[in-house]
Amino acid sequence: MKKLIAKPHLFFFGLVPIFITLGFFKSDGEISINIDYMQLDLKVNTICYLSAIFFSLIGLNYFSILLMGKKLKKGLTITHIAIQLVSFIPFFYILFTATKIEETVANSQQYLDLFSIPFLIGFFLFLSAIFIHLINFSVSLFLKKQ
């Protein structure tokens, strides 16, 4: 655990191949999200590839802080990683219950009801993890070297 806190970039760089592999194997799935009168259909592999890019950028942020010789705030790093891990639970639930495109069109309303609550929970957890990461990055960047 201490190594994870000392080098969080390794954790996020480790997530990149996991999400690329998930995107490769779940390429036939689709997630439908109903927003008011609009239905948004997202391919699962696209979401996985975008997540891999996002986690590589977070890893680069953490690596750049350590490369500059600055110290990360331990509490913020732990909170960010913990909330990020908890936000994976609804994401993986949605990811593994996503259906093929043909089935999604046929049973659209059933899947929209199934995804709405986990999607909102995961989305807000993910947003809070992003804000905590940005606070951690900014505080570590502007403090003096230790």
Q: At what angle do helices 74-97 and 108-142 cross, to 10 degrees?
A: 160
Residue 28: closest CA among 91, 113, 98, 88: 98
pLDDT of residue 117: 75
- The DSSP secondary-structure symbol of 70 reads P
Rounded CA gap, 49 and 12, in Å?
A: 14
Displacement of CA 145 from its chain's centroid (Å): 30
Position of tokens 């490769």? 24
Stretch 2-9: mean pLDDT = 80
Mean pLDDT of 74-83: 91
Mean pLDDT of 81-108: 71
Domains in the chain: boundaries: 2-142
Q: How confident is the model at residue 60 (pLDDT cuts 50, 70, 90)?
A: very high
Q: What is the mean pLDDT of residues 11-19?
A: 91
Q: How far apart are CA 84 and CA 98, in angstroms?
A: 21
Mean pLDDT of 40-65: 88
Residues of the chain above pLDDT 90, percent: 27
Between 143 and 84, the higher pLDDT residue:
84
Is residue 108 predicted with pLDDT exceeding 60? no
Task: Kindly report the average pLDDT of the chain as a whole number.
Answer: 80
Indicate whether 104 pLDDT > 80: no
Q: Tokens standing for 52?
A: 């891999």
- In angstroms and rounded to an integer, the radius of gyration of the C-alpha atoms of the chain is 17
Give the end-to-end CA distance of the chain in Å, rounded to a whole number: 22
pLDDT of amino acid 33: 67
**Environment class of 119 (CB within 10 Å of its CB; exposed 0-12, middle 13-18, buried 19+):** middle
